């Protein structure tokens, strides 16, 4: 259906043009009229929404019932209404620089003529006489004021009688540069109300793209309830966001589409930087955002790399300093500080000669040659880099991590090694032993004998007569970190990479009577290699000097395995990587006016941009992950294997994850519906309260918008979103039987709760403690560089180990360049930016305007404040030995709120760093 010819209201008089910066009187004929921006939904930007008035349920087969004045700001039927619209634009650094461009004088003339933005108002209703869309109203907004970086534009406009409710506004940017429109405020309605219209989105120049931007009102509509006058625009906007799957994406575009991870390698640069494509039958993987870059010359399956990776325009980090603190810092570390470290620490294999040399990182620092831009590091990463004095070199000086500050020797202790499996950086790997004897599922023809050397006799000797192994299994007393079968296929390949080594590993723990874990045994295994048979050995806590040092070396290897698995699987894969398809599908299939889009939108903030940055400089071939973690060049390939073998959406819910690992059992009588196997499990104890709070909030929200259960299954946008998540976003697992089906509100509530948990609780638990626990790298080394002395007992090497075992441990630890690189990265990754948006913190304006949703959110926010108090109380309870004790870092990673900086607490809404 074609739109009827728009009405263009009178242009401004010449006197208006001569003084465009002066505010004009309401009703002046000199002012260009503009649409009434009533209840416009913000575009898919990420800054805070300020949506407008009270939400009204719609139940009129596509036609909108008469809305209240507080909803639309418009209560006229037979008379015209004159109102004033104030458009607020945020100037950015790019906008300011564009004033030096060749087109700047033309834009100045446009402002002078009062024609900066062309605004077009669309009625929500069809013309009842013709059945066609009503004529739209056009008008220009002109510049009236600028305070620092905030620029305002005004238009006085007349809404004609019978126009009806405002359904959408189209905006055309008359400048040659894009503009970040924050909001439009409408005042002057006869009932005294005003309308706040947030946009929070980049609006492209008409010279780059003639397509007008569409902003819908802030009223949420299921597809079947869409007002007739904006049905076409609803679908057109989604079509624009989907694109056609062709061509290379431009920075200004807002197109969401899928592609495989075919951009991690750089074969045109070096053959050794070739990497397999992730996202096919050989290497299953989630999909990322399509950029459309050309294919490489040497590998037609791989995409060329570029310094700026495309993400849809409104997914990109804001240019405002307060909105990019963490992002800018991370980029500075990746692109400036790490290369500077490589220049300073010339020998990449050089380790730390003494433990005191590690300590010096915190009290003496590393001297860096001063960059050409004076004060560069101090302005961007002042927490890390200090200026020694004017004109001299810079100093990389690390803050003392809390674990080291509280107990310098905690990393050495078995009890801390065990405690961190429940209350440390990776609480997701510990699992109950349910099968005995331990046995590999790998092919023994390739990997050697499957049976573990951790035998019944060995375990019963170690638990010293407390009980038999059968009793321990029955009473759920044995737990394991099992990295055997996942790592074994990579051991020989990784060992071909210079400067690293790898084993398959199993670490067994015993649950003591006071609820703490005690390590029992570590088994390290190397598969057959060449003419050598499989090698495996079990190490236990012993009471002789040689055995003690071998045990410490074995723990270092296990910690390196756990560090790699945590970073590559628990953190990157299960939060960052698997969330991107939810975001792409939501923008392609859920209209901006869909209530579920509005619920999820705060939880998707900045994720696509941080993932693009990771592909550019962190997980790419030769990037920080490959050079500093044990799996080396196979790191991301290893995460693909984990995705293939282990990832299931239905197991990403916290209760399901705990049950799968044997760390909980279903119990309808228990407070959270599950009973924990280890009662003092800080991550699970706090996490279940957060999970329940999220689920209650989501339940209140979903039940409000889907009062009739059949509405879920009949919601074509919702079903298209979830189908696309499965069939395109996670295409390599599309036929798995465990995918939830969205038939009832309960199905939808559980699915949405799982997504929000992953983006908020899961990510916070495994990200913001990174510097606290791994900033002192002996506690969590990211790489093991040397084999166990007993694997190939060369007399000379073993004599060196016996003579100076401390040196053997230091040789096993990361090199100086690896350690300092990782420490700098973890410091930044653990940091909360000043603009962090915490879960339950600020109500979205669209929720605040609806009394039911507002009350539900306030209840949610109140529950999170209660969680803060519960965690504080738990951290003073001396009975909870896994979170309280002498020198123990209190468990606060799931405290919902935090100040900015490296705090070890705070749960942001989204995966934004």
Per cent of the chain over pLDDT 90 is 67
End-to-end CA distance of the chain: 44
CB count, 10 Å around CB of 160? 14
- The more confident residue out of 878 and 113 is 878
- 79-92 pLDDT, tens digit per residue, is 888 878 888 898 87
CA dist., res. 663 & res. 655, Å (int): 9
Which pLDDT score is estimated for 323? 43
* Burial category of 852 from C-beta neighbours within 10 Å (exposed 0-12, middle 13-18, buried 19 and up): middle
Split at pLDDT 50, 70, 90, the class of 339 is confident
pLDDT at 912 exceeding the cut of 80: yes
Which residues are known catalytic residues?
Answer: 571, 576, 763, 767, 913
- Range of lowest pLDDT (313-327, 438-452, 540-554, 892-906): 313-327
CB count, 10 Å around CB of 332? 20
Read off the DSSP letter of residue 794: -
Split at pLDDT 50, 70, 90, the class of 535 is very high
Do the beta carbons of residue 595 and residue 705 sit within 8 Å?
A: yes
- Range of lowest pLDDT (109-123, 382-396, 522-536, 712-726): 382-396
CA dist., res. 293 & res. 96, Å (int): 29
Q: To 5 degrees, how large is the angle CA 214–CA 218–CA 219?
A: 115
- 730-785 pLDDT, tens digit per residue, is 999 999 999 999 999 999 999 999 999 999 999 999 999 999 999 999 999 999 99
Split at pLDDT 50, 70, 90, the class of 5 is very low
Using only C-alpha atoms, what is the Rg of the chain? 30
- 459-504 pLDDT, tens digit per residue, is 999 998 789 999 999 999 999 999 999 999 999 999 999 999 999 9
Which pLDDT score is estimated for 367? 84
Do the beta carbons of residue 524 and residue 788 sit within 8 Å?
A: yes
Which pLDDT score is estimated for 95? 59
Do the beta carbons of residue 283 and residue 640 sit within 8 Å?
A: yes
- The more confident residue out of 212 and 8 is 212
Split at pLDDT 50, 70, 90, the class of 447 is very high
CB count, 10 Å around CB of 395? 17
CA dist., res. 625 & res. 623, Å (int): 6
pLDDT at 606 exceeding the cut of 80: yes
Say which residues have a Cβ less than 8 Å from residue 31's Cβ, sequence separation at least 6: 12, 16, 24, 114, 142, 154, 155, 156
Instruction: Give the CA dihedral 536, 540, 545, 546, nearest 10 degrees.
Output: 0
Split at pLDDT 50, 70, 90, the class of 78 is low
- Range of lowest pLDDT (37-46, 454-463, 537-546, 767-776): 37-46
Read off the DSSP letter of residue 569: I
Say which residues have a Cβ less than 8 Å from residue 721's Cβ, sequence separation at least 6: 585, 586, 588, 589, 590, 596
CA dist., res. 715 & res. 224, Å (int): 7
| Mean pLDDT, all residues of the chain | 87
Which pLDDT score is estimated for 21? 30
CA dist., res. 867 & res. 855, Å (int): 19
DSSP per-residue codes, 210-244: -SPEEEEBS----GGG--GGGHHHHHHHHHHHH--
- 184-211 pLDDT, tens digit per residue, is 777 777 787 776 777 788 999 999 999 9
Nearest to 216 by CA among 121, 141, 133: 121
Which pLDDT score is estimated for 92? 76
Residue located via tokens 């008469």: 66
- 246-299 pLDDT, tens digit per residue, is 999 998 899 999 999 999 999 999 999 999 999 999 999 999 999 999 999 999
Q: Which helix (H) or strand (E) holds 374?
A: none
pLDDT at 852 exceeding the cut of 90: yes
pLDDT at 108 exceeding the cut of 80: yes
Which pLDDT score is estimated for 863? 98
Which pLDDT score is estimated for 60? 32
Characterize 464-475 residue by residue with b for buried, 16 or more Cβ atoms within 10 angstroms of its Cβ, and e for exposed.
eeeeebeebbee
Split at pLDDT 50, 70, 90, the class of 27 is very low
* Burial category of 356 from C-beta neighbours within 10 Å (exposed 0-12, middle 13-18, buried 19 and up): exposed
Instruction: Give the CA dihedral 314, 640, 774, 378, nearest 10 degrees.
Output: -30
Long-range contacts of 62-65 (CB under 8 A, 24+ apart): 62/224, 62/225, 62/226, 62/227, 62/228, 62/231, 63/125, 63/227, 63/228, 64/124, 64/125, 64/165, 64/167, 64/227, 64/228
Q: Report residue 772 as tokens.
A: 């606290």
Q: Largest Cα–Cα distance in the chain? A: 100
pLDDT at 325 exceeding the cut of 70: no
Tally of CA atoms within 13 A in the half-sphere of 859 that contains its CB: 16
Instruction: Give the CA dihedral 309, 723, 61, 195, nearest 10 degrees.
Output: -30
Which pLDDT score is estimated for 68? 33
Mean pLDDT of 684-696: 98
Bridge partners of 508, per DSSP, are 480, 521
- The more confident residue out of 855 and 111 is 855
Residue located via tokens 């931007």: 213
pLDDT at 17 exceeding the cut of 50: no
Per cent of the chain over pLDDT 70 is 86
* Continuous H helices in 672-774: 682-705, 710-714, 716-724, 745-757, 763-767, 770-774
Q: How many residues does the structure list for the chain?
A: 913
- The more confident residue out of 161 and 241 is 241
């Amino acid at each position: 259906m074609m739109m009827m010819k728009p009405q263009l209201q009178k242009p401004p008089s010449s006197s208006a043009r001569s003084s465009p910066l002066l505010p004009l009187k309401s009703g002046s004929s000199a002012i260009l009229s503009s649409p009434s921006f009533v209840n416009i939904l913000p575009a898919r930007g990420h800054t805070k929404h300020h949506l407008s008035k009270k939400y009204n349920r719609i139940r009129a087969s596509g036609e909108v019932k008469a809305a209240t004045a507080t909803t639309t700001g418009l209560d006229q039927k037979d008379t015209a209404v004159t109102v004033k619209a104030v458009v607020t634009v945020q100037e950015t650094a790019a906008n300011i620089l564009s004033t030096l461009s060749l087109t700047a004088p033309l834009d100045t003339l446009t402002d002078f003529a009062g024609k900066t933005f062309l605004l077009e108002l669309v009625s929500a209703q069809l013309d009842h006489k013709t059945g066609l869309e009503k004529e739209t109203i056009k008008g220009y907004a002109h510049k009236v004021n600028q305070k620092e970086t905030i620029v305002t534009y005004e238009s006085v406009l007349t809404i004609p009688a019978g126009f009806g409710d405002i359904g959408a506004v189209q905006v055309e940017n008359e400048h040659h540069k894009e503009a970040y429109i924050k909001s439009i405020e409408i005042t002057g309605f006869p009932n005294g109300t005003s309308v706040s219209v947030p946009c929070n989105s980049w609006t492209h120049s008409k010279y780059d793209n003639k397509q007008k931007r569409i902003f819908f009102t802030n009223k949420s509509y299921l597809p079947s309830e869409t007002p007739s006058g904006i049905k076409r625009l609803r679908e057109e906007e989604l079509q624009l966001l989907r694109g056609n799957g062709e061509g290379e994406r431009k920075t200004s575009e807002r197109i969401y589409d899928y592609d495989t991870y075919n951009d991690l390698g750089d074969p045109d640069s070096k053959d050794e930087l070739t990497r397999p494509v992730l996202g096919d039958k050989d290497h299953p993987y989630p999909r990322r955002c399509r950029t459309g870059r050309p294919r490489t010359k040497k590998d037609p399956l791989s995409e060329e790399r570029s310094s700026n990776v495309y993400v849809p325009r409104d997914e990109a980090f804001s240019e405002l300093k307060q909105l990019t603190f963490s992002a800018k810092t991370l980029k500075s570390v990746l692109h400036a500080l790490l290369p500077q470290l490589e220049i300073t620490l010339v020998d990449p294999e050089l380790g730390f000669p003494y433990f005191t040399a590690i300590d010096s990182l915190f009290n003496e620092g590393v001297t860096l040659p001063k960059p050409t831009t004076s004060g560069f590091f101090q302005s961007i990463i002042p927490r890390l880099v200090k200026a020694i004095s004017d004109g001299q070199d810079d100093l990389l000086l690390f803050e003392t991590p809390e674990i080291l500050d509280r107990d310098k020797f905690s990393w050495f202790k078995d009890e801390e090694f065990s405690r961190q499996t429940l209350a440390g950086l990776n609480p997701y790997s510990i699992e109950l032993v349910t099968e005995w004897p331990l046995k590999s599922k790998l092919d023994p023809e390739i990997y050697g004998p499957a049976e573990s050397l951790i035998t019944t006799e060995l375990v019963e000797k170690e638990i010293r007569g407390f009980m038999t192994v059968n009793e321990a299994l029955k009473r759920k007393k044995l737990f394991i970190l099992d990295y055997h079968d996942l790592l074994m296929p990579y051991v020989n390949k990784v060992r071909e990479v210079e400067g690293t080594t790898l084993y398959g590993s199993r670490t067994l723990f015993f649950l003591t009577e006071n609820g703490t874990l005690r390590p029992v045994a570590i088994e390290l295994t190397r598969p057959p290699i060449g003419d050598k048979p499989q090698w495996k050995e079990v190490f236990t806590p012993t009471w002789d000097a040689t055995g003690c040092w071998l045990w410490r070396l074995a723990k270092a290897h296990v910690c390196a395995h756990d560090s790699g698995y945590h970073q590559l699987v628990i953190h990157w894969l299960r939060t960052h990587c698997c969330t991107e398809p939810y975001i792409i599908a939501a923008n392609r299939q859920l209209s901006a006016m869909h209530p579920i889009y509005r619920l999820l939108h705060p939880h998707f903030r900045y994720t696509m941009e941080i993932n693009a940055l990771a592909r550019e400089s962190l997980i790419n071939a030769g990037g920080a992950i490959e050079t500093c973690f044990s799996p080396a060049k196979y790191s991301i390939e290893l995460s693909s294997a984990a995705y293939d073998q282990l990832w299931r959406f239905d197991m990403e819910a916290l209760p399901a994850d705990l049950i799968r690992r044997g760390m909980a059992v279903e119990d309808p009588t228990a407070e959270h519906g599950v009973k924990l196997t280890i009662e003092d499990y800080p991550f699970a104890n706090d996490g279940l309260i957060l999970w329940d709070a999220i689920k209650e909030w989501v339940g209140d929200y979903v039940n409000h918008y889907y009062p009739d259960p059949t509405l879920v299954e009949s919601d074509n946008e919702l079903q298209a979103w979830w189908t696309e998540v499965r069939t395109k976003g996670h295409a390599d697992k599309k036929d798995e039987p465990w995918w939830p089906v969205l038939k009832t509100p309960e199905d939808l509530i559980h699915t949405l709760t799982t997504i929000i948990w992953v983006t908020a609780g899961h990510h916070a638990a495994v990200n913001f403690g990174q510097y606290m626990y791994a900033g002192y790298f002996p506690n969590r080394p990211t790489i093991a560089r040397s084999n166990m002395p007993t694997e190939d007992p060369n007399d000379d090497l073993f004599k060196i180990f016996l003579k100076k075992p401390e040196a053997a441990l230091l040789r096993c630890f990361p090199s100086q360049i690896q350690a300092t690189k990782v420490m700098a990265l973890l410091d930044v990754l653990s940091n909360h930016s000043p603009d962090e948006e915490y879960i339950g913190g600020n109500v979205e304006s669209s929720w605040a305007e609806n009394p039911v949703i507002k009350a539900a959110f306030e209840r949610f926010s109140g529950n999170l404040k209660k969680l803060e108090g519960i965690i504080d109380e738990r951290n003073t309870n001396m009975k909870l030995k896994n979170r309280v004790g002498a020198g123990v870092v209190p468990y606060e990673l799931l405290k919902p709120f935090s100040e900015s900086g490296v705090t070890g607490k705070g749960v942001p809404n989204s995966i934004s760093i």
